[in-house]
Amino acid sequence: MKKILHYALLAFSAFSISGCIWDETIENYLTLHVCEARNEIGVSRERVKMPETGVEFIVQKEAFMTMGDLDSVDVAEVYDPSSGTTIRGFVLNCNGKGIKKLFRETSKSMGGWILLKENGNPRAIRKIDSIISNGKLFMQLEYPRETDLFKKAQDYTKDIVKVQKEIAEREAGW
C-alpha cells in the first residue's frame, strides 16, 4: 500500500512540475506536433485529418512545443512561385526555449511536417524543408475562409501571455 501511495505521489509531482498548464481562462491552447513519413499508427502516433483539405497525416501524439515556447502569433502572406498564388498563414514567434526546440526538431525531422493543434484540433501544417534557426515558423492554415485570422492571432497571443505569466509565477514559487 505504501508503495502505491509513493508512486501516486511521484506521478502527481511529476505532472505538476512538468509545465502542463491548462487554465480555464485560456480559450485556445496551442501545441505543435511532428508528422512522420511512416504510414503506421501506434502507441505514440495517431492519424489526423486536416479539416479543410481532408489530407491525412500520421502525427506524434506528444507535442514537442506548447504555448510556453511561444512569444506571439502574427498573420502573414507568402507568395508561392510554383502556383503563382499568395498563401495566408500564421507566423509563430518562439521565445528562447522555443527557438532551441524548433531548431532541434526541424534539423532532425527534415522532410516531415509540423502540425499546429488548437485545443487538440488540427489547424495548420508546415513541411519541414529547412532548418529553422530564427524561431519564426510560418504555417499554412486550415480555417474556413470567413475566419477572422487577425482576431485569431490576437486571441492566441493573449492566451500565450497568460501562459507565460503562469509559468513565471510557478518558476518564482520554486
Q: Of 95, 90, 55, 105, whose CA–CA distance to 114 is shortest?
A: 105
Average per-residue pLDDT for the chain: 85
- Per the model's pLDDT, the better-predicted residue between 93 and 36 turns out to be 93
| Measured CA distances, 166 to 64, 70, 98, 152 (Å) | 19, 14, 17, 21
**Per-residue pLDDT band at 23 (split at 50, 70, 90):** low
The torsion angle over the Cα atoms of residues 165, 169, 171 and 172, rounded to 10 degrees, is: 130
**Per-residue pLDDT band at 3 (split at 50, 70, 90):** very low
Q: Of 18, 24, 95, whose CA–CA distance to 63 is shortest?
A: 18
Cell output for 28: 485556445
Q: What mean pLDDT comes out for the span 123-143?
A: 95
Cα–Cα distance for residue pair 17/6, rounded to 1 Å:
16
Radius of gyration of the chain (CA): 18
What confidence score (pLDDT) does residue 36 get? 76
What is the CATH T-level fold of the domain 25-173, as seen in this structure?
Answer: Gyrase A; domain 2 (3.30.1360)
Rounded to a whole number, what is the distance in angstroms from the first to the last CA of the chain? 30
Cα–Cα distance for residue pair 158/57, rounded to 1 Å:
29
Sequence spans of domains, the chain: 25-173
Backbone CA torsion sign across 67, 69, 70, 76: negative
**Tens digits of per-residue pLDDT, 80-120?**
888 899 988 999 999 999 999 999 999 999 999 999 999 99
Highest mean pLDDT range out of 12-21, 34-43, 49-58, 64-73? 64-73
What confidence score (pLDDT) does residue 34 get? 95
Per DSSP, the three-state class of 167 is: helix
